[in-house]
Amino acid sequence: MLEDQIIEKIERTYDQKLNHLPSIEYIQRNIFIKNLDLPQQQYLMYLIKKREELFINIILYADDSVIEINKIFHENLKINDIQNFSIHSLDFNLTHASLWIGLHFEDDINKLSKEVFSPTNHQKLKSTLVATFLILVSILVWWFYSIEFSSMFGITLFLITFLSFGYIWEILKSSLPINQKKLLLKHKFDIASYLAQELQYYVADKLKFDV
């Protein structure tokens, strides 16, 4: 299935970012970093330094407040500099991952969008014919039986006619080239967001993140 192939491709590409990956350790939350064992500290520093490339959000906790690692990070940051902090959360940045996927996997997203984007012209034509049929039947019944508009049946026929006209208008409006382009762009963004979410599950399991 195309979707599964693209997800696997994204996961393989992400794995290529994990160069020089130390031993993956579960980093305990809400204990001082100085109390973590050495492999945990080494893994944490790896994540801190690679956080932007790997789309990681790292939130620290100290003195009853939380702070993003970006606010205190500098190139020479050492584990001793944050030893009195604890890890509040480690999670995946879906927004940055979506942008990365949209940029680097554009061709794959285009292929996937063609598979699932909007009904076919045949389906639209069939739906339009059904709506038109309902309009004609409602008008004929209304005219033939001289149904009063204020009656319950008259109101029902009016609603059927009104909604059918509205449905046809929406189909025609969505078929305009400018609206097709807008819908396609939104659809591609939704696909990129979905793929990023799938990557999140993979990364959270692999790197022992929060979900």
Mean pLDDT of the chain: 83
The vertex-116 CA angle with 112 and 122, nearest 5°, equals 135
What does the buried/exposed string (b/e) look like for 186-198 if buried means 16 or more CB atoms within 10 Å of the residue's CB? ebbeebbbbbbeb
**Unique residue bearing structure tokens 């204020």:** 150
Whether pTM exceeds 0.85: no
Terminal CA-CA length for the chain: 26
Residues of the chain with pLDDT under 70: 115-128, 131, 142-151, 153-155, 157, 165, 168, 171-182, 211
Phi/psi of residue 43, nearest 5 degrees: -65, -40
pLDDT of residue 175: 63
- 132 contacts: CB under 8 Å, gap ≥ 6: 164, 168
pLDDT given at position 16: 93
Q: Which amino acid, one-letter code, is at 71?
A: K
How far is CA 78 from its chain centroid?
35
Question: For 20-44, how does the pLDDT look when each residue is reduced to its tens digit (9 = 90+)?
Answer: 888 899 999 889 999 999 999 999 9
Residues 158 and 163: their CA atoms lie apart, in Å, by 8
Q: Which residues contact 128 (CB under 8 A, 6 or more apart)?
A: 168, 171
